Structure 1
Amino acid sequence: MKGLTLIIPILLAFVSPLFLSAKKEEVTKKKIVLIAGSRSHASGEHEFRAGCMLLAKSLNDESGLNVEAVVVGKDWPKDKSVLDDADSIFIFADSVSGIAGEWEYLDSLAKKGVGMVFMHYAVHPNPQMGKKYFQPWIGGAMESDWSVNPHWVADMKVKQDHEIGNGVPEMVTCLDEFYYNMRFINERDKVLDLVTATPTRENMYRYINLWNQHGVDGLDKEHALMWGYERPNGGRGVGFTGGHYHHVWALDGFRTVVLNALIWSAGIEVPKGGVKSKPLTEDDLNDNLDSYGKNMKRLELPNPSDWKKLGPARIDEKREAAFTK
């Protein structure tokens, strides 16, 4: 009995630190909520839910990081309390459908230091909301009659001296609908250009509805496609204009830079080799796609070398001449 009395304190001395360590790890796990928009466009485009699920799988099952990624949708969560303890919120949806009028609530979270990442169409509010909310949250936003939305083959230059560039090649080639010429805060030097590319007449694939004179003037100039912002009062924001085509997730560099951005926005140090994730198979790329019935198509893994063979888009000279009138 006396021996047992001596052993118990010794066991407790070993077990207690382990228990406390486990509890501490549980408490410090970072939570990222991914808000996926509703179905839109066509099969293989604006696959918000499938894209969010790919990212969540990478974070939860493959990254090895102490993070919990939760996917909600379609659009704004029915129970917004899921966001109350979020360290970062990712919105991938059509325009502001992923916000659903909850501007003040999101603003209160931003003021508490919650990270925010907006991707593709989700970076496009109206000018008033862009200035009032997006600029303080993430440093800038897309703006109609100022920004443009062509489809083009971008040689994306990833900022190598920033955490978000960890494990990502310096250049990633991608065909996507990359918006450019964002409306940034006046203190432009406070916004980090994390991924940049240069649109040209030669790498344009399609000029579509929002093409304007600013787009023409912006040709042959480098533009930020992904930008980051560290808010003066705490918290980080990221905007990224890519993500129209679902095939982008099969590009390891593209996927990694988005995963890195999510982690960075949540205040986690990005691993030196970037956030780990497994290369996608064709089956992975076709998982969880929105249903379009007979109009569903099976997506193939992209081959960037094929994009370089695409001819430049036809220029509508009559349309462009009208821009200056």
Structure 2
Amino acid sequence: MVSKRLLTCLAFTAAAGFLLATASASDAQPPAKRILLIGKEPDHPPRSHEYMATCRLLAACLNRVEGVEATVSDGWPDEPLDAFAAVVLYRAPFAEEMFVGPRSGEARRLLDSGGGLVTIHWSVGVPPEGYDALGGVMTRYQGGVWLSNSGQVAIGQSRVRTLQPDHPILRGVRLESIRDEWYFNPEVAADAAPLWSVDTESGPLTVAWTYQRPGGGRTFATTLGHFWENFTREPFRKAIVNGVLWAAQADVPAGGADVEVNRELLELEAAERQPALSP
């Protein structure tokens, strides 16, 4: 017959094991939110459209955030897009590859399931020859679209007007003015919310907006980002990183993301020497 003392010992051991297992489960960290930044080699004069260097700089900032894992890819990654929580596009217009190309199903699955989308500068646009086929789908996922390669651009300097001062993207951000390339006549959807505007000779111009997609996903789009120098400025860089976190449905800290990086990464030549990171 099993002794009473042994039964008590066994019961205590089982209870301790259960409590330990429960504590371990509660202490387990949720899986990291994986964010993919897609760039390409530069196609503009130096210090403008520095896609890969900029993606590496933003990834370095994102990887400082607990629970976030950012990866940079030069063009399409080997891994499916829908393996990520959000995709950031900073490159030439990519709408055709994203939404009608052979791997477009991955992008649609990601976005239709609530994944995040961030488009920076030229990536917000579609070329005139693709507008009829892609304008509608870009508006559906991006909350707006801009007709690229149409001559509707100008370099300018302006005060930045904040249109959603309490938005998480603007936490810790004081961007008072900017010199950038203006993309005129963006088509911002009625259910998207302009975030920033600038003053131009033609009047106020929306240069960033947020979009809560009907399926539950989030998009942050900005037509700014022509010059490399703007990404080296902490307020602008913080807003972009905050925007990526918001789109990925990750927590944006009360004071905004910590975007301090090694000084070398802010030097373009050094940034260009960093190896590309593939998923």
TM range (shorter): 0.7 to 0.9
Count matched residues: 261
* One-letter identity of the residue aligned with 1:254: F
The answer to which structure has the higher strand fraction is 2
The structural deviation recorded for 1:249 is 1.4
* One-letter identity of the residue aligned with 1:196: S
Contact 1:34 / 1:91 at 8 angstroms: preserved in 2?
A: yes
TM-score for the superposition, normalised by structure 1: 0.72
Pair 283,259 (structure 1): closer, same or farther in 2 beyond 3 Å: closer
Q: Can you give the 5+ residue segments of structure 2 that lack an aligned partner in the other structure? A: 275-279
1:169-318 equivalence runs, <5 A: 169=174, 171-185=175-189, 188=190, 190-200=191-201, 219=202, 221-278=203-260, 281=263, 284-286=266-268, 287-289=270-272
Query: 2 CA distance for matches of 1:279 and 1:290?
Result: 16
Query: 1 CA distance for matches of 2:235 and 2:13?
Result: 53
Q: Can you give the 5+ residue segments of structure 1 that lack an aligned partner in the other structure? A: 201-218, 292-325
Query: 1 CA distance for matches of 2:241 and 2:234?
Result: 10
The structural deviation recorded for 1:57 is 0.9
The structural deviation recorded for 1:245 is 1.1
Query: 1 CA distance for matches of 2:265 and 2:216?
Result: 40
Query: 1 CA distance for matches of 2:177 and 2:152?
Result: 20
Q: State the match for 2:54 in structure 1.
A: 51
Contact 1:180 / 1:241 at 8 angstroms: preserved in 2?
A: no
Q: State the match for 1:299 in structure 2.
A: none
The structural deviation recorded for 1:154 is 2.6
Residue in structure 1 matching 2:158, options 154, 158, 166: 154
Contact 2:199 / 2:205 at 8 angstroms: preserved in 1?
A: yes
Query: 2 CA distance for matches of 1:244 and 1:68?
Result: 26
Q: State the match for 1:119 in structure 2.
A: 120
> Percent identity at matched positions?
25
Pair 104,193 (structure 1): closer, same or farther in 2 beyond 3 Å: same
1:140 aligns with 2:144: yes
Secondary structure, aligned partner of 2:236: helix
Secondary structure, aligned partner of 2:184: coil
Contact 2:210 / 2:219 at 8 angstroms: preserved in 1?
A: yes
Query: 1 CA distance for matches of 2:148 and 2:225?
Result: 19
TM-score for the superposition, normalised by structure 2: 0.82
CA RMSD of aligned residues (A): 2.7
Q: State the match for 1:90 in structure 2.
A: 88
Contact 1:95 / 1:124 at 8 angstroms: preserved in 2?
A: yes
Query: 2 CA distance for matches of 1:259 and 1:67?
Result: 12
Query: 1 CA distance for matches of 2:225 and 2:213?
Result: 25
Contact 1:120 / 1:242 at 8 angstroms: preserved in 2?
A: yes
Q: State the match for 1:323 in structure 2.
A: none
